[in-house]
């Protein structure tokens, strides 16, 4: 079973920042937070991951609360191509299995 909770759907206007929340209240000290997204009929795309510090790459920023019980994925300037299902996953480095929950269906509106 997934160890994360995400809202089933969200909307965001094109050009605005999209903030996707994730709750992982039972996360263990050695578990990382991973984010993937899946555009319709494509394979999941890795976005970003982190342990406890905030992370940023060319795609997004990941903000993890100090108690690590929740996190937020930020797409700074959403485009129509960012419409996808976004998955938040907690995982121990080296664990073979990724457990995907239902994710958040993000719709970017023009």
Partner 1 sequence: SQTIHQWPATLVQPVGSPLSLECTVEGTSNPNLYWYRQAAGRGLQLLFYSVGIGQISSEVPQNLSASRPQDRQFILSSKKLLLSDSGFYLCAWSGIAGARTDTQYFGPGTRLTVL
Smallest distance, Å, CB 41 to partner 1?
7
CA-CA distances (angstroms) from residue 62 to 1, 33, 49, 70, 83?
23, 9, 7, 11, 18
Smallest distance, Å, CB 93 to partner 1?
6
Smallest distance, Å, CB 80 to partner 1?
21
Shorter beta-carbon distance to partner 1: residue 12 or 89: 89
Which two three-digit tokens encode residue 2? 């997934």
Shorter beta-carbon distance to partner 1: residue 67 or 93: 93
């Amino acid at each position: 079973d997934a160890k994360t909770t995400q809202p089933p759907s969200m909307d965001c206007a094109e050009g605005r920042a999209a903030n996707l929340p994730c709750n992982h209240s039972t996360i263990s000290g050695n578990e990382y937070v991973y984010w993937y997204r899946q555009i319709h009929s494509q394979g999941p795309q890795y976005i970003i991951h982190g342990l406890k510090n905030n992370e940023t790459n060319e795609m997004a920023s990941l903000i993890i609360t100090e108690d690590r019980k929740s996190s937020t994925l930020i797409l700074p300037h959403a485009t129509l191509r960012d419409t996808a299902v976004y998955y938040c996953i907690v995982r121990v480095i080296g664990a073979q299995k990724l457990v995907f929950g239902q994710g958040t269906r993000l719709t970017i509106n023009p």
